[in-house]
Amino acid sequence: MLNELETLSQNIGRLIEINQRHHEARVALEEQLAQLRAQCEATRVELEQVREERNALQAERDGLSAKIDDAQVRLNAILEKLPRARAGADRENQLDLLAPSQDAADDNAARHGENA
């Protein structure tokens, strides 16, 4: 009977020890869960801030795009009001731009001939 009581006492001691280890593991897991929940909440807050920033940037982009479109419309209206030159007149104007440089080349050749 004494052996049975001693065995029973040892078994109870092991059960208490196992129970204590499980309790400590549960407390550690609860602490870890609390930390993860806090991280999750912080991530949610950060995500909401990033979404708000994204929405603000999208609104700014849309506003700038509208301004660009308005400027393009005004620029096109201004360009339509400008007189249009004919293609032949453009060629003459281009030749006029080349003529002074050709005269300058002839003058330089004449000067070189005089100096020789």
CA–CA separation, 41 and 34 (whole Å): 11
Quickly state the pLDDT bin for 84 (edges 50, 70, 90): confident
Q: First vs last Cα of the chain: how many Å apart?
A: 142
DSSP 1: -
What is the dihedral sign for C-alpha 26, 27, 31, 34? positive
CA–CA separation, 17 and 25 (whole Å): 12
Q: Average the pLDDT over 16-43 and give the result.
A: 98
pLDDT at 21 > cutoff 50 = yes
CA–CA separation, 19 and 26 (whole Å): 10
CA 71 and chain centroid, separation? 25
Quickly state the pLDDT bin for 66 (edges 50, 70, 90): very high
